[in-house]
Amino acid sequence: MPDLTESGVTSDVDIAEVVAAHIDVDRLVTLVQDVCRIPSILGEEGPLAEFLAGVMAGSGFDDARTQDVLPGRPNAIGLLDFGGGPEAGKTVVFTGHMDTKPVSHGWKLTEPFSGEIIDGAVYGHGIMDMKAALVCQIIAMEALRASGLPLKGRLAMAAVSDHMGDQLGSIKYFEEYTADLAVLGELSDNEIFLGHRGRYYYDVHVRGISAHTCHKPLAVNANMLAAHAIIELDASKLEPQLEEWVTSLFGPETFMSPGRVYGGLPPGGPSMIPDECVIRVDCRPQPGVTLEEVRAEVERCLAKAKEREPRFEAEVVLADVKPGYLAAPEAEVTQLMIRAVRSVRDAEPELQVAGWLGDTASFGDRIPTIIFGPGGEPVYCPDEHLSIDDIVEATKVYAAFAAYALLED
């Protein structure tokens, strides 16, 4: 491998340019088109996992294969070892999810799975969240290997399933593998995201008294009772005490919404006034907001509902917890990404955060992670597309990040 000083590679920009010169842009764009043509809606990740595992195996990655997660829904994994195994240097993981939401209605310029290029952009359902980033990460790994830079340690790839379910793909991968640093390729408009809000689900079981509709005076309609709770929950404005820098990033409010309501009987069934209605309360807390704080706010809203309707009775059940994530600005993983973006873009990046939930909810407490990826809002809309320029820029940033992390001292 070349000596950096002798070869004239003496700065971050030099290193980034050396690696960028080995990015095969034609291959990059073609593979992005290919993944756009493979549907991978939640529950149907298998074909895309097989494809990505095949791409890595064909490129000579080590241990390139699918990793079992759920029946027919594996992860696609592989790695590059730059000498000495994990003991010789850092292990860095590039990761992102394969699953997408269902196809949006209203496509006009092309078909959702066409992968067509129109005016310098690739069109495809889920391209921003986050099929393109997966390809960018793999091509960045290939470019780093081809660069000839003196590296040590390992660079791994984990394309995971079930992100939009229970994040079982990420959970499975990081149960079997560890890392010193990770980059999550979620859509960030090629800006640096330090983290994201969490997600707490509370189910409010509202109880009434059932009766046939003809005997309405004997009943207490659980749906009616729940309506009082829905009004109070929707009006919630919880502003917990947080560190000032966290509030400056996320804003003061923990958002809470009665997102789903289950009550009564399905259409076509017998006539009956329901005695139960369940409200799924969707809470999106900033990192650092505790379950106790959110539970107390839910209980406060329900107490207000009982003031409105004295017959109101309910049980609160914690249904799911996905914590928020936040990397410190001074953390190594953050500083490496700042260097990478600065060197590629020749501008100082702004540190931001996301409102959505990332897979870092399941592994960020163990693996220092930064979020960076092409694409941004609005996402999952008709004619979803991503410019080739943004795809190339993201690949350059991933490659630079890995180079800085794995360069020999």
pLDDT in tens, 188-226: 999 999 999 999 999 999 999 999 999 999 999 999 999
Q: How confident is the model at residue 150 (pLDDT cuts 50, 70, 90)?
A: very high
The string of pLDDT tens digits covering residues 80-136 is 999 876 677 899 999 999 999 999 999 999 999 999 999 999 999 999 999 999 999
pLDDT at 247: 97
pLDDT score at 2: 44
Distance CA 32, CA 172 (A): 26
Q: Taking Cα atoms as reference points, which of 33, 95, 131, 58 lies closest to residue 402?
A: 95
As a whole-number percent, the residues of the chain with pLDDT over 70 amount to 97
Nearest to 253 by CA among 285, 297, 230, 294: 285
| Residues 6+ away with beta carbon under 8 Å from 266 | none
Kindly report the pTM of this predicted structure: 0.93
Give me 71's structure tokens.
Answer: 């029946």
Is the pLDDT assigned to residue 1 strictly greater than 50? no
For helices 132-147 and 46-58, angle between their N-to-C axes, nearest 10 degrees: 10
Q: Residue 8 above 70 pLDDT?
A: no
Tell the CATH superfamily of the 12-196+324-406 domain.
Answer: Zn peptidases (3.40.630.10)
Same CATH topology for 12-196+324-406 and 199-322: the answer is: no
- Residue 21 neighbours by CB distance under 10 Å: 10
Q: What is the pLDDT of residue 408?
A: 81
pLDDT tens string 285-343: 999 999 999 999 999 999 999 999 999 999 999 999 999 999 999 999 999 999 999 99
Picking from 286, 252, 266, 18, the residue whose alpha carbon sits closest to that of residue 148 is: 18
Q: Where are the domains of the chain?
A: 12-196+324-406, 199-322
Q: Among 2.60.120.10, 3.30.70.360, 3.40.50.300, 1.20.1560.10, what is the CATH number of 199-322?
A: 3.30.70.360
The pLDDT of residue 3 is above 80: no
